């Protein structure tokens, strides 16, 4: 099939916006459970399990800078209510009110309306997470028609994997699932020229389910003009001038423009533009698109030998970091050795004591002094939720 029609593209954009609401709502639900904002509550001798108080939640959203004021917080939560992600515990209020009223995520009481569209996104997210969390060779850097594409999978191999994992029972059903994933904007052909098929064509996940969404994004109806890297949203992408190709190309670290990779399943706001290389601004706020090459935080590059010199100016530190619902909260960059480029001040890494400019020595007992950011990122992203990292800090 040569190209995707305008109607399909419009539908994919609408479905992608729906997916963003679903994923953002789920990330918020997990965070609220973690900090006990969602819990069992009593009122008039009755217990309401797994609910939150609207007024308290608005306070929390403002305190955690998810909303600038109470009106904005109400608008955000109303968006989730309109999409049937949350509801009043007795379904007596169709508006989200800044009062001591109990609301609940429908996923917590089994009333989430799993229509056909939502089911596709849930299926896509489960497949994405399974691919990211298990050892497989499906997602690799591959070439097609003279272009090199990171984390690309072959259509026929993807079908083989779906059958092997028990996701589908027959090849025809697996191929149909692949087509539905593409039509819903979850995967795409690397040059956006073909529909999904059981063959040698390459496809990429267009959605990064692990990127941490800012709630304020729910109020922005614009669709993303570039896909997100599955390693991190903190990396450079190339857009073709015709605007038709939304896939991203790999960039060699030896080139003038370097690639930074974030080791967080969440992270920083994506940015986009009409042409050229773009990267995300290293900030956790919702930032405008910028054209930039993220500069290293290092004052000077050091060698592995210098780091390991006895009596040298570096001291070794060990951190045990337990990932939260959205990741570990740091960005790694560089090569031989890699270094910590950025740390989310509210993330698990910061809580453990990690700082920018730390040099990465080992990940879960494996020495990585001679590896680049791609290897280090892969070790963390495909490893356990709890990671043990040895770093070197200049004394």
Q: List pLDDT tens digits, range 114-165.
A: 666 777 887 888 888 888 777 778 988 899 988 888 889 999 999 999 999 8
pLDDT band for position 299 (cuts 50, 70, 90): confident
User: Which pLDDT score, from 0 to 100, does residue 231 have?
Assistant: 36
User: Which pLDDT score, from 0 to 100, does residue 158 have?
Assistant: 95
User: Which pLDDT score, from 0 to 100, does residue 213 have?
Assistant: 74
Point out which residues pair with 203 in neighbouring strands: 153, 189
- CATH for the 7-105 domain, from 3.40.1450.10, 3.30.1280.10, 1.10.760.10, 1.10.10.10: 1.10.10.10
Contacts of residue 183, defined as CB under 8 A and 6 or more positions apart, other chains included, come to: 8, 11, 12, 15
Point out which residues pair with 46 in neighbouring strands: 43
What distance in Å separates the CA atoms of residue 244 and residue 268, rounded to the nearest whole number? 25
Place of tokens 């570096």: 314
Contacts of residue 223, defined as CB under 8 A and 6 or more positions apart, other chains included, come to: 13, 16, 17
CB atoms within 10 A of CB 85: 22
Fold classified for 116-209 = Arc Repressor Mutant, subunit A (1.10.10)
Three-state secondary-structure class, residue 75: helix
Place of tokens 């963390």: 380
Is pLDDT larger for residue 112 or for residue 392?
392
Distance of CA 391 to the CA centre of its chain: 25
Please state, rounded to an integer, the average pLDDT across all residues of the chain: 76
What distance in Å separates the CA atoms of residue 192 and residue 107, rounded to the nearest whole number? 34
Contacts of residue 199, defined as CB under 8 A and 6 or more positions apart, other chains included, come to: 155, 156
Mean pLDDT, range 6-30, rounded to an integer: 74
pLDDT tens by residue, 172-208: 999 999 998 988 878 989 988 899 999 999 999 887 7
Max CA pair span of the chain: 69
User: Which pLDDT score, from 0 to 100, does residue 351 have?
Assistant: 86
Whether residue 289 has pLDDT greater than 70: no
Q: DSSP string spanning 4-63?
A: --HHHHHHHHHHHHHHHHHHHHHHHHHHHHHTTSSEEEEETTEEEEEEEEHHHHHHHHHH
User: Which pLDDT score, from 0 to 100, does residue 235 have?
Assistant: 28
pLDDT tens by residue, 214-266: 788 777 654 343 333 333 333 222 233 333 333 322 222 333 322 333 343 33
What distance in Å separates the CA atoms of residue 391 and residue 357, rounded to the nearest whole number? 10
Q: 304-394 in CATH: which number?
A: 2.30.42.10
- 25, 280, 327, 331, 333 from 232: Cα distances, Å: 20, 10, 11, 9, 11
Contacts of residue 365, defined as CB under 8 A and 6 or more positions apart, other chains included, come to: 388
Whether residue 392 has pLDDT greater than 80: yes
Whether residue 92 contacts residue 49, with contact meaning beta carbons closer than 8 Å, is answered with: no
Mean pLDDT, range 42-54, rounded to an integer: 91
Which helix or strand (DSSP H or E) is residue 339 part of?
strand 338-343
Whether residue 41 contacts residue 47, with contact meaning beta carbons closer than 8 Å, is answered with: yes
What distance in Å separates the CA atoms of residue 120 and residue 118, rounded to the nearest whole number? 5
Q: Where are the domains of the chain?
A: 7-105, 116-209, 304-394
What distance in Å separates the CA atoms of residue 166 and residue 270, rounded to the nearest whole number? 34
Same fold for the pair 7-105 and 116-209? yes
What distance in Å separates the CA atoms of residue 60 and residue 345, rounded to the nearest whole number? 17
Is the pTM higher than 0.75? The answer reads no
Using CB atoms within 10 Å of the CB of residue 5, give its burial: 0 to 12 exposed, 13 to 18 middle, 19+ buried. exposed
pLDDT band for position 281 (cuts 50, 70, 90): very low
Is pLDDT larger for residue 346 or for residue 371?
371
- 41, 105, 167 from 50: Cα distances, Å: 8, 8, 31
Q: DSSP string spanning 121-145?
A: HHHHHHHHHHHHHS--SSSEEEEET
């Amino acid at each position: 099939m040569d190209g995707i029609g305008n109607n399909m593209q419009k539908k994919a954009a609408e479905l992608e916006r729906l997916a963003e609401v679903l994923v953002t709502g789920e990330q918020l639900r997990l965070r609220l459970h973690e900090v006990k904002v969602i819990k069992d509550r009593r009122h008039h001798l009755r217990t309401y399990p797994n609910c939150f108080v609207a007024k308290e939640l608005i306070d929390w959203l403002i305190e955690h800078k998810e909303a600038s004021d109470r009106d904005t917080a109400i608008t955000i939560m109303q968006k989730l209510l309109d999409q049937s992600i949350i509801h009043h515990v007795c379904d007596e209020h169709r508006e989200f009110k800044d009062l001591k009223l109990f609301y609940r995520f429908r996923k917590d009481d089994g009333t989430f309306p799993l229509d056909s569209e939502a089911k596709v996104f849930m299926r896509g997210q489960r497949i994405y997470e399974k691919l990211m969390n298990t050892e497989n060779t499906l997602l690799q850097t591959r070439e097609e028609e003279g272009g090199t594409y990171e984390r690309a999978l072959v259509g026929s191999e993807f079908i083989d994997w779906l059958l092997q994992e028990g996701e589908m029972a027959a090849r025809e059903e697996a191929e149909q699932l692949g087509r539905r994933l593409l039509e819903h904007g979850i995967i795409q052909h690397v040059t956006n020229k073909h529909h999904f098929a059981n063959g040698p064509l390459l496809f990429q996940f267009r959605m990064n389910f692990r990127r941490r969404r800012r709630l304020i994004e729910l109020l922005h109806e614009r669709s993303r003009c570039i896909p997100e890297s599955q390693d991190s949203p903190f990396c450079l992408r190339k857009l073709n001038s015709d605007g038709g190709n939304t896939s991203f190309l790999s960039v060699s670290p030896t080139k003038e423009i370097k690639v930074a990779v974030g080791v967080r399943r969440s992270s920083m706001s994506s940015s986009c533009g009409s042409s050229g290389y773009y990267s995300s601004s290293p900030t956790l706020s919702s930032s405008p698109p910028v054209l930039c090459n993220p500069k290293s935080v290092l004052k000077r590059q050091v060698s592995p030998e210098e780091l390991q010199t006895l009596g040298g100016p570096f001291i070794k530190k060990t951190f045990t970091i337990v990932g939260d619902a959205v990741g570990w909260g740091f960005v790694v960059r560089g090569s031989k050795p890699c270094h910590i480029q950025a740390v989310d001040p509210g993330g698990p890494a910061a809580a453990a004591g990690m700082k920018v400019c730390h040099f990465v020595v080992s990940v879960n007992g494996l020495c990585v002094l001679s590896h680049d950011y791609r290897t280090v990122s892969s070790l963390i992203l495909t490893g356990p939720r709890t990671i043990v990292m040895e770093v070197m800090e200049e004394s």
